Amino acid sequence: MKVMVVGGGGREHALVWKLSQSPRVSEIIAAPGNAGIARQAECVPVGATDIRGLLDLARSRDVDLTFVGPEAPLVEGLADAFHQAGLRVFGPVRRAAALEGSKAFAKDLMSRHGIPTAAHRTFEDANAARDYIRSLDGPCVVKADGLAAGKGVIVADTVEEAVAAVDEIMVKRAFGTAGDRVVIEERLAGEEVSVLAFTDGETVLPLLPAQDHKRVFDGDRGPNTGGMGAYAPAPVCTPQIYDRVVQEILEPAVRGLREEGITYRGVLYAGLMLTPDGPKVLEFNVRFGDPEAQPLLALLETDLVDVVGAVLENRLADLSLTWRAGAAMCVVLASGGYPGAYEKGRVIRGLNEAEKTGAVVFHAGTAERDGKLVTAGGRVLGVTAVAAELSEAVRRAYQAAELIDFEGMHFRRDIARKALQNC
Ligand code: AMP
Ligand code: GLY
């Protein structure tokens, strides 16, 4: 079967790597892909949100299945367009993808179906939002309603900061129309965990719990990023908490959508805060996490093509997932300056040596120039290792990461430390 993967980051490299192991996959096309993906797939320069271009590509190349990595094309209706054209596609339709595309929609759905989340209010008027912030007792979080590439969330320590965030989002329009509305919510405390699940709209098949590291510096300091590293399974999500997440959050979300006439088919990602009152939703995403996909797919034994078939044909109830024993960790190597402004085109060295250690190096922002591998994004590589014990996976991933070098490179040294300290 010929498969197309939409996107060009570390998550998409992990998807291509996993799909290429399926005996049912004969050829993979990536749009647009990256320099690492180009080793396992044919990269075609069609952008991930160019829905018409992707449709043409899928048709002209007789693609049997399209797997969508990022959220933007799903929110814009890629799955709907492919379904209309009679093409098989993995990823939710536009109305279901609104779970990530509109935080107000997600919050309202959670309210309607009793899904635990931070208390919130939605505003279309900046003055009303500011007044509300001033009326609150405690600290709050200000969120642009729409997609803002992970930057539209401001966790405010003071009233002034929260008010400034409203100005940034609604008045200065830092995120364009994503700031037509803001969601202001109660600030929760606790440890974060990501629980993802495959669903065909009826059955919810959860993956291992994973933990991301969103802040740029060690000790969860500095600004938020797309994610500086992740590991799975995350022991902080005990079997009891995991069951609650499935029963109180993932299943009611899928059921709630279905009751409202929306069938969710794809991966549903719940970003959670483990509070003293139980797990609460911080956000829903409608696709694999990046970098959570890297350790999760490194551990998944089940053929991803089988999972996709079961999701698209409503057969997920008959499937169970099998996992490699042990744990996996992925550390992201980032460009100097990231998540702020950074330079591209830095030559990357040491990749072969790193891969010889047995670690898998997933490419995110890389390109090939004059026969050399160079940086082409903020998050450049995701060095991933699997081992029987998490501590060993961490040791191996860092051992491989130390062999790689490019000017300005930085990475967190404490990925999974919380889990190792709690052991
Ligand atoms: P989101 O994109 O909504 O997941 O927000 C990005 C990050 O902001 C999360 O991973 C949390 O670290 C933080 N965050 C979001 N909502 C809250 C909240 N209600 N309370 C505390 N932190 C939050
Ligand atoms: N790692 C967070 C995300 O993919 O949204």
Q: For residue range 346-394, what is the model confidence (pLDDT) as tens digits?
A: 999 999 999 999 999 999 999 999 999 999 999 999 999 999 999 999 9
pLDDT over 90 at 66, yes or no? yes
Residue type, 313: E
- Average the pLDDT over 257-275 and give the result: 97
Ligand 1, pocket residues at CB < 6 Å:
118, 141, 143, 153, 155, 185, 187-188, 192, 214, 224, 271, 282-283
Residue whose CB lies within 8 A of the most ligand 1 atoms, among 105, 154, 183, 283, for a mutation test: 283
Amino acid in the structure at residue 228? M
130-150 b/e with 16+ CB inside 10 Å = b? bebbeeeeebbbbbbbbbbee
Residues 153-177: tens digit of each pLDDT: 888 888 888 988 888 888 889 888 8
**The predicted structure's pLDDT at residue 128:** 86
Q: Where is 273: in which H helix or E strand?
A: strand 266-275
60 pLDDT more than 60: yes
CATH code given to domain 191-318: 3.30.470.20
Q: Residue 175: what pLDDT?
A: 87
Kindly report whether the peptide bond that precedes residue 32 is cis, defined as omega within 30 degrees of 0. yes
Bridge partners (DSSP) of residue 90 are: 67
Compute, in angstroms, the gap from residue 12 CA to the centroid of ligand 1. Answer: 24
| Rounded (5°) CA angle 170-175-179 | 35
How far is the C-alpha of 101 from the C-alpha of 105, rounded, in Å? 8
> Long-range contact list for 28-32, CB < 8 A, 24+ apart?
28/2, 28/3, 28/4, 29/2, 29/3, 29/4, 29/5, 29/57, 29/61, 29/63, 30/4, 30/5, 30/6, 31/4, 31/5, 31/6, 31/7, 31/57, 32/8
The residue to mutate among 105, 107, 155, having the most atoms of ligand 1 within 8 angstroms of its beta carbon, is 155
- Return the CATH number of 2-93, one of 3.90.1150.10, 2.40.50.100, 3.30.300.30, 3.40.50.20: 3.40.50.20
Distance 370 CA to ligand 2 centre (A): 32
- Averaged over 89-106, what is the pLDDT? 96
Q: What's the chain's average pLDDT? A: 95
Domain map of the chain by residue range? 2-93, 125-180, 191-318, 327-422
pLDDT band per the 50, 70, 90 thresholds, residue 126 = confident
What is the architecture of the domain spanning 327-422?
Alpha-Beta Complex (3.90)
Task: Give yes or no for residue 285 CB within 6 A of ligand 2.
Answer: yes
The per-residue pLDDT for 322 is 98
Query: How far is 189 from 280, CA to CA, in rounded Å?
Result: 10
34 Cα–ligand 1 center, Å: 29
Quickly count helices (H) and strands (E) in the chain.
Answer: 15, 22
Using CA atoms, how far apart are residues 164 and 157, in angstroms rounded to an integer? 12
Nearest C-alpha to atom 2 of ligand 2 is from which residue?
Answer: 289
Paired residues of 116 in beta bridges: none
Q: Is the CB of 335 under 6 A from ligand 2?
A: no
pLDDT average, residue stretch 216-235 = 95
Distance 213 CA to ligand 2 centre (A): 9
Whole-model pTM: value is: 0.95
Tell me how far the alpha carbon of residue 302 lies from the centroid of ligand 2, in angstroms: 23
Determine the residue type at 59: R
> Which of the four pLDDT bands, split at 50, 70 and 90, describes residue 178?
confident
Nearest-atom index, ligand 1, CA of 187: 20
Mean pLDDT of the region 263-281: 97
Whether residue 423 has pLDDT greater than 60 = no
- Look up the CATH superfamily of 125-180: ATP-grasp fold, A domain (3.30.1490.20)
Strand-by-strand arrangement of the 266-275 sheet: 204-206, 191-199, 266-275, 278-285
Residue 212 contacts residue 192 (beta carbons within 8 Å): yes
